[in-house]
Amino acid sequence: MFPRPFPPISSNASLYESVQIRTIESENLIGWMKSFVLSVTPPGNFEYLDSLSHHKCLKSITRRAPDDEDVAIDIKFAGICHSDIHTVRSEWGSTAYPLVVGHEIAGVVNAVGKNVTKFQVGDHVGVGCMVNSCRQCTNCQDGEEQYCLSGAILTYNSRDPKDGTITQGGYSQYLVVDQAFVLRVPESIPLDKAAPLMCAGITLYSPLHHWHAGPGKRVGIIGFGGLGHMGVKLAKALGSEVTVFSQTNSKKELGLQLGADNYVATSEPDVFSQLSRKFDLIINTVSANIPLELYLSCLRRDGSLVQVGAPEHPLQISPFSLDAQRVGIHGSMIGGIAETQQMLEFCGEKQIFPEIETIPASYINEAYERVMKSQVKFRFVIDVSTM
């Protein structure tokens, strides 16, 4: 969940309004694709995007031909991430329109460049939030490409260093990616359920892995949506005792069914006093501004609260809430390529899959509305064959 800012859009720039479909008539699909994008409408005012239009029209984009290090992928499924909607609305810095979003991508290798050694035609593969990085800085050398000091090249809304174009995402039929940023999907993971792992899965696995969730550790997950439900499944599979923090008990039965040991309704009285100093790690998956100091009070000495949601306003924290038990608040952003591959292998071995609702391309506007209203359990996945 990290769009790369672009220079401000000019006052006459167009904005996306709804999702489009076009069939490209071409003898050679290398470099061309059916595209699933959003229409453009003036003016440079974002407020009208609060209600996405259901109008549809035709649109197409061009993909570059694969070079010697590239893998060409026929996309089969594309997950819908809340980041896609933030980017469509240009809420996280300037969006370079026109744009195809989508960074939860699963598909099948169609072709490979002559220097590709990791993949062959027919392999099941995935692509997440990044398609390149500098590969030279200390972070890249450490396998933390998402923290590239030159800025990771994102799957959409970044500038592709290979041809200078703006990267276009996975709401499409075809993609070309350097082999170093392609992930192998284990045969034990269905492709439709692999797609959300490329963002939602690694977004939760990385902090759980980094802060050593496992046997003997108590882990709290704030929020029980697309990210939160993956946090519950992963933390439980790692051996932790898992508690969900949610506003109400409306999802309690499902939370316990998916692996939570405890489910707490934070709107009930005395909840936080009862949980004082109980947790080693708490991960906040929600994007609303919530009173984090209450959750910091639930951490044991040297415990960590990790923020993976993206609130609209700055966090308000008193230093005393950190000093009292030497607790810390940290950020975490997806994971590196090696760690993401590790996550996929772990999920394949433990049979940990996201709960998904597979939809046709024509349902995109309704899906976006439902995501914004938190009315999906728990992740939408587009069946690209319907485009």
**pLDDT band, residue 64 (cuts 50/70/90):** confident
**pLDDT band, residue 35 (cuts 50/70/90):** very low
What is the pLDDT at residue 59?
67
Count of Cβ atoms closer than 10 Å to residue 16 Cβ: 24
State phi, psi for 368 to the nearest 5 degrees: -60, -45
- 368 closest CA partner among 92, 109, 88, 125: 88
- 204 closest CA partner among 133, 301, 295, 282: 282
- Using CA atoms, how far residue 55 sits from 19, 21, 210, 218, 380, in Å, is 8, 11, 44, 48, 21
List residues bridging with 246 in a β-sheet. Answer: 265
- Using CA atoms, how far residue 223 sits from 272, 282, 378, in Å, is 15, 11, 12
List residues bridging with 359 in a β-sheet. Answer: 382
Q: What is the Cα–Cα distance from 224 to 248, expressed in whole angstroms?
A: 10
Q: Please report the domains of the chain, with CATH numbers, ordered by start residue.
A: 70-199+336-341+353-386 (3.90.180.10), 201-331 (3.40.50.720)
What would the pLDDT profile of 241-288 be if each residue is shown by its tens digit? Answer: 999 999 999 999 999 999 999 999 999 999 999 999 999 999 999 988
| 116 vs 310, more confident | 116
The pair of structure tokens assigned to 247 is 């506003």
Task: Please check whether residue 6 is in contact with residue 157, taking contact to mean a CB–CB distance below 8 angstroms.
Answer: yes
Total-model pTM = 0.86
> Is residue 190's pLDDT more than 90?
yes
- 321 closest CA partner among 342, 339, 341, 299: 299
- 107 closest CA partner among 89, 118, 92, 121: 121
Averaged pLDDT of the chain: 86
What is the pLDDT at residue 297?
97
Q: What is the Cα–Cα distance from 156 to 150, expressed in whole angstroms?
A: 17
**What DSSP line would sit under 369-383, residue for residue?**
HHHHTT-SSSEEEEE
What would the pLDDT profile of 212-244 be if each residue is shown by its tens digit? Answer: 999 999 999 999 999 999 999 999 999 999 999
